[in-house]
A and B are shown apart, each in its own frame.
Chain A
């Protein structure tokens, strides 16, 4: 499905043509589905990713801070970070139509949603990121902002149970805000954030929007929370966690019960994922399972 905004498509072609000589006036501009459905995006103010020949153009969400985004781009371009992150094709955001900011990336192969995810590689990759030396000038990781946005959505729902979940989320956010700024972290890690280039086959990280400094447990929170909510099987979770520990990942103690370090970020991840499922068409059973986990959280 090409984008239905011809002026935006032309603008994206113009940006892509500066990198890939194959781009012409009729090259398709294809939106990449990163949430919701292609035909029913969740919200127009969210970020959008477009494929044009061999180039990815990302329009960042409305209200994205230019300075913070630039600092994050510089962060992933720092020494040795190219071994962990897919590098942008330019390190400065571009002003895009409709007051958006755009970044430009090479097209990569992404992880299939069908085959078994490479959980061991993923655990080791995150451990390596968390062990990198701290960089000056990076913002705090973006998980806190995503939690705040999810809570704001719950407040507007008009449902009593969701308003109570919002109150619970406020308490969670306050506690999470006190976690130490300990390491570098991706800030919004999930399986859609992995890609590799045609020549170098190892998985690297995508999506710089929430990259920053904070508690590295945030990056384990989505798999941990999905495991706890019964949406990820024990083998997958154990493979991921064991590989993370074997690679010296600092988010959890090297052995023993990891859950004290993971509990709060995992709760936040489940709450945020529940809100996202509520906003996504046809996610009924998963949404119900995530909301059931949220209900249990509020009582214990």
Chain B
């Protein structure tokens, strides 16, 4: 294998936040606004921290208690140990797809 010797040139991290956008109080990166289930929230593009306005956490909690997903249309394959056809998907269950183990 050829050995890379020259490090790549440092590229300053200076993304331009949108006008009026918030800056993350922890790490200083710009935050981006998302709408999720009718709730506005800001997420940091650097450290993934989330900012909720007053009352939004309560909205989310209420929404979760009303949660119901569409029954899945299975694609016709999958393992015997899978859970297809006998339960609802957990929306947001894929948050576990963001972390190492």
Contact = CB atoms under 8 A, between A and B. Distances in A.
Interface of A: 1, 19-20, 22, 28, 30, 32-35, 47, 51, 53-54, 71, 74-75, 77-79, 82, 87-91, 106-115, 117, 135-138, 146, 150, 188, 190-192, 197-199, 207, 222-223, 226-234, 236-238, 257-259, 263, 266-267, 272-273, 275-277, 280, 283, 285-286, 289-290, 292-293, 296-297, 299-300
Contact of A82 (B8, B28, B50, B82): B8
Interface of A is mostly: loop
Contacts of A263: 79
Contacts of A228: 78-79, 81-84
Contacts of A90: 7
A230 B36 contact: no
A30 B44 CA distance: 13
B52 to A, nearest CB: 12
Query: What interface size band does chain B fall in?
Result: 35 or more
Interface in B1-41: 1-5, 7-8, 10-15, 26-29, 32, 34, 36, 41
A152 to B, nearest CB: 13
Given A88-B7, A234-B72, A236-B94, A112 B45 contact: yes
Interface of B: 1-5, 7-8, 10-15, 26-29, 32, 34, 36, 41, 43, 45-48, 50, 69, 72-75, 77-84, 87-91, 93-101
B82 A293 contact: yes
Given A115-B34, A273-B96, A296-B81, A20 B15 contact: no
